[in-house]
Structure 1
């Protein structure tokens, strides 16, 4: 239930929604600390902070996103969302080959996932 609420808040694509999503996810992780998908979405909220300019430190938000996505992959090596976020993090650092590889892995893991294909397309365009 909290994940669904978090996702709804996250999709508002604004500072308030993102902050509420983060709160819901942190509460959900207190109950289900082994849920890879929660870490993926939490990583996405930290990336959203970067895009919305709602962070006091870009470096800290980037590090938090990286930590969350690595935890998500450690918990579930087949988490396509985590690989897509990892690809975006690599792209931010202009690590194009790593970004492409991560996004391609997301597509392989979820061949019917529109987000994976869209993310790969964006990463290829930016590379």
Structure 2
């Protein structure tokens, strides 16, 4: 039970990635924000837990589009930039792509990925992928 009623300009319900991004941006731009969370820790699905000596990270595990400088393609990177925050990232030169036709290793980056996609599954599939973007 809360003894006093906290006052705020905005109340954000939930401390998942969306709620925390929303609250962070509102606070960054001058709003007084309160975040309410029913779980015992923030992060929503993005948290970790230990079972029998093993550590598990749950939630999103791969974010693409982070760049060290310049315009960001990833919405989370845009939020972090606006907040003046950063997170440690691992870089990859390639990754495995799984499609109905099979799997293939693709290079990282939008241009190389589209070339690899066309090579392995054809121009029609590449055009369909571009429609999603």
TM-score strictly above 0.5: no
Larger Rg: 2
Greater strand proportion: 2
RCO higher in 1 or 2 (8 Å CA, sep ≥ 6)? 1
Greater helix proportion: 1
